[in-house]
Amino acid sequence: MEDPKIVAERIVTNVQQVIIGKERELQLAITALMCGGHMLIEDVPGVGKTMLARALAASTGLKFSRIQFTPDLLPTDVSGVSIYNQKNADFEFREGPIFAQIVLADEINRATPKTQSALLEAMEERQTTVDGVTRRLPAPFLVMATQNPIEYEGTFPLPEAQLDRFLIRIHLGYPSPTDEVLVLDSQQISHPVESIQQVTDQNEILQLQQAVKEIYVDPLIKNYIVALANATREHESAYLGASPRGSLALFRTSQAKALLDGRDFVTPDDVKDLALVTLGHRVIMSPGAKVKGATVADVISACLNRVPVPGARARS
């Protein structure tokens, strides 16, 4: 395999043909893919959440499926269902859209909690159980879920257990006026996602994920990550802090960032840069803090200020 950094940069550059002016967000999306984690994209309608998932799937050549979450969607519409075959006089299983490598869960908070729970086993264990039979999902496996925070009518908030299964949460935001003009130019004749080319494959993605795990993390950095997660649990504005899964998410994404930066070791700056996107959605604010106008970003910032940064230490 060629340099993992070059492979990752090639994917980012390719997706930038579709998502213009969002390099930071694209790097976070690639980070989730490199870590084998899932991503929650929370933003207003029309900023490119769905196009990001489609462009990423087209660039990697991975099998793509889309699930449009609605209040009447059933769990079997996600995982699949056993149907009686009259010719064989037996039941046969028909796979649901979850049996793909990049799954777009569009407007995930519009489905009922019962349907949302159909994703829990798939996201954590990379398998799904239907009628007592457990089936493995293909690798690599990535769920990219979108939700529109301003549309509260007919929505069901994601439970803490589901939020905790997302590796990172990102916000695309509106493009700058200059970038928005470039969007108009790029789509004057046709949408660029229709002509985007594949620049890597499944095997390279799996090798990329393995390369991330080999990035060195000093014990002091590990202690720093755990201390940050623990600080969110003890913060006075937090009703619920980050879980151990959050510590692991910050650990793994820091490895991926180091690789993207061309290093074979993690620095404290990597951890600080990713603290909000990996821990923020795992922190539940207390009712009193909400009344005072405190935000999750305030909690993470305070924790970063409170926890001492480890000093330099030679690698053993």
Same domain, 191 and 60: yes
The domain of 281 spans: 215-306
Q: Is the domain of 157 the same as that of 228?
A: no
Assessment of whether the complete model's pTM goes beyond 0.75: yes
Which pLDDT score, from 0 to 100, does residue 153 have? 60
Which of the listed residues 208, 226, 244 is the one where a domain comes to its end? 208
Supply the pLDDT for residue 311: 72
pLDDT at 154: 65
Is 115 exposed, middle or buried, given 0-12, 13-18 or 19+ CB atoms closer than 10 A? buried
Q: What is the pLDDT of residue 288?
A: 85
Please indicate, yes or no, if residue 315 is contained in any of the structural domains. no
Domain termination site, one of 158, 184, 208? 208
Do 34 and 135 lie in one domain? The reply is yes
- Look at residue 247 in the predicted model and tell me its pLDDT: 94
Residues 71 and 157 in one domain: yes
Q: Would you state the pLDDT for residue 231?
A: 92
pLDDT mean by block of 10 residues, the chain; 316 residues: 81 88 89 92 82 89 90 88 80 87 90 84 87 87 83 72 90 86 84 85 90 93 94 88 92 94 92 93 87 87 90 50
Three-class DSSP labels, the chain = CCCHHHHHHHHHHHHCCCCCCCHHHHHHHHHHHHHCCCEEEECCCCCCHHHHHHHHHHHHCCCEEEEECCCCCCHHHHHEEEEEECCCCEEEEEECCCCCCEEEEECHHHCCHHHHHHHHHHHHHCEEEECCEEEECCCCCEEEEEECCCCCCCCCCCCHHHHCCCCEEECCCCCCHHHHHHHHHHCCCCCHHHCCCCCCCHHHHHHHHHHHHCCECCHHHHHHHHHHHHHHHHCCCEEECCCHHHHHHHHHHHHHHHHHCCCCECCHHHHHHHHHHHHHHHCEECHHHHHCCCCHHHHHHHHHHHCCCCCCCCCC
